Amino acid sequence: MTVGPRTSVRPPYAGTRYPRLAEVPAFTDMIGQGWQEQTVLPDVEPGTAEAAASHRARLSASHPGRTLLFAAGTAPTRNDDAQYAFRADSGFVWLTGCQAEGAVLVMSARPGGHDAVLYIPEPFRPGDSGFFSDAAHGELWVGPSAGLAEWAVALQITVEPLSALKGRRSELRGAHAARSATDLAHEVDAELSAELERSVSILRMMKDDWEIGQLRSAVDATVGGFDAVAREVPRAIAEGLGERWLQGTFDRHARTFGNGPGYSTIVGSGPHAPILHWVRCDGDVLPDAALLLDMGVEARSLYTADVTRTIPASGAFSPAQRAVHDLVERAHRAGLEQIRPGVEYLDFHFAAMEVIAGGLHDWGLLPVSVDEALSPHGQQHRRYLACGIGHHLGLDVHDCSQAHYEDYMGAPLQAGVVMTVEPGLYFHAHDLTVPPELRGVGVRLEDDVLVTPHGSEVLSEALPIDADGVERWVRERLGTAA
Ligand code: GLY
Ligand code: MN
Ligand code: MN
């Protein structure tokens, strides 16, 4: 082929309208055929179907005679036709194990229980115009997707195309709809929706063996992520903007070994460590500062870990950092000791706060006695710890959040609960009430804990929590162990 100089001759179709491909029969004929059929199986962890069926049975028993409606939801629009990444609604996933965008679960009441039907959008395949024209669901854009028959086998549930749901609209009038599904039913009663959310939150508090297994995997992957991050500390220090680098390191790990981070990863060096949710992560990693890492892998089943350690970037804590770490560790252990079935949920909080308030008093930081600070009308110690120090953990990092006070904070613990214990002390760099050596020191120690029939099990115990152990662990990863 010879390439000559460009001529100014325009092709005969120049100036015509950009063709709408769906309206060009020659094109639709051409693209609609000649494709080998592909079968894609849903990416579902073993045991998902059985766990979801048992969750539906528990919900069914608590809502006899009511038609119940849940939806996976859809990804929010970022701009134009670009969407944020999709993540299915947790209540829906708990009941179905399905993570298909746009899917809907209808549990219709019948004598003695409910019939469950899962409605899933059919993938746009060759021959459908959406195959090439729908950037969100067309297989030409998003790749081959599992079909309805494959979903039905994987989840052992009746599956229908989402389009068939239209035929049931009158039947769904007045159904109890979860928040994710309120736009699907007519005449939704907001109070009934809230009540359904509350029931699901309460039921989700007790994890079954399969869920506990998923949480263990999430925690194990998270421990691997801490390892990956610690090994990157020298590079993070050397290259600047190190908090961002470490955040990215963990997020890549989470996305590779799970679905992704279970919440925005927190990496705070020095003066950023006391900032409770420092997700901006636009600071350097300071070589002599303590580095707070609050990170959790969300497994592919969507169960998440939530773990925090505060490590010395150099491999050795300063005396002030160590003193704060030791006090938080003592509070942490005091809290953990309270965790067993039958004990009030808040007892771990009160035990940890006693230690924190006592330590702050010894350091001369409390303007009142320990008892006065601990009383409901005091709480002066909370200036340095103004957040909760634990929560239920599961499909959501702050799991079961629609339960009421009396179901959650005001209730006794039961075997099968998984929760975090995460006391901390946060001395901000501009806090004039603390001595200079404490300013800019923030320590949080967060473990994921299973309530067992006779006590508790720390799922994240592979990560040391005492200052000596943390230093050793860091040095091993920095390659500076003695
Ligand atoms: N990472 C959020 C929390 O610890 O609750
Ligand atoms: Mn956390
Ligand atoms: Mn937490």
Span 374-389, pLDDT tens digits:
999 999 999 999 999 9
Residue 7 has pLDDT above 70, yes or no: no
- Kindly report the pTM of this predicted structure: 0.96
pLDDT digits (tens, 9 = 90+) for 57-97: 999 999 999 999 999 999 999 998 888 999 999 999 999 99
Q: How far is the CA of 308 from the centre of ligand 3 (A)?
A: 8
The predicted structure's pLDDT at residue 5: 63
pLDDT digits (tens, 9 = 90+) for 253-265: 999 999 999 999 9
The predicted structure's pLDDT at residue 124: 96
Mutate-to-test residue for ligand 1 from 306, 426, 443, 448, highest number of ligand atoms within 8 A of CB: 306
Distances from the Cα of 237 to the Cα of 306, 353, 477, angstroms = 25, 34, 15
How many CB atoms lie under 10 A from the CB of residue 36? Answer: 5
Task: Give the atom of ligand 1 at the shortest distance from the alpha carbon of 398.
Answer: 5
How many CB atoms lie under 10 A from the CB of residue 353? Answer: 23
Ligand nearest to the CA of 265: 1
How many CB atoms lie under 10 A from the CB of residue 293? Answer: 26
- Write out the residues surrounding ion ligand 3, Cβ under 5 A: 306, 420
Ligand nearest to the CA of 308: 2
Residue 415 has pLDDT above 60, yes or no: yes
187: left (phi over 0), alpha (psi -120 to 50) or beta: left
- What residues contact residue 391 under an 8 Å CB cut-off, 6+ apart? 397, 398, 399, 419, 420
Task: Give the atom of ligand 1 at the shortest distance from the alpha carbon of 387.
Answer: 5
Residue 1 has pLDDT above 60, yes or no: no
Task: Give the atom of ligand 1 at the shortest distance from the alpha carbon of 266.
Answer: 1
Residue 472 has pLDDT above 70, yes or no: yes
Nearest alpha carbon, ligand 1 atom 4: 306
pLDDT digits (tens, 9 = 90+) for 206-238: 999 999 999 999 999 999 999 999 999 999 999
The predicted structure's pLDDT at residue 6: 63
Nearest alpha carbon, ligand 1 atom 3: 306
pLDDT tier at 4, thresholds 50, 70, 90: low
Mutate-to-test residue for ligand 1 from 219, 250, 278, 294, highest number of ligand atoms within 8 A of CB: 294
- CB–CB of 232/248 below 8 Å? no
Which domains, ranges and CATH numbers included, belong to the chain?
48-196 (3.40.350.10), 206-478 (3.90.230.10)
CA distance 81 to 478: 44
The predicted structure's pLDDT at residue 337: 98
- CB–CB of 221/305 below 8 Å? yes
Residue 2 has pLDDT above 60, yes or no: no
Q: Report which of 52, 183, 176 is spatially closest to residue 118, judged by C-alpha positions.
A: 52
Does 182 or 335 have the greater pLDDT score? 335
Q: How far is the CA of 445 from the centre of ligand 2 (A)?
A: 9
Phi, psi of 363, deg, nearest 5: -85, 0
Question: Which residues contact ligand 1 via a Cβ below 6 A?
Answer: 263, 294, 306, 397, 422, 446
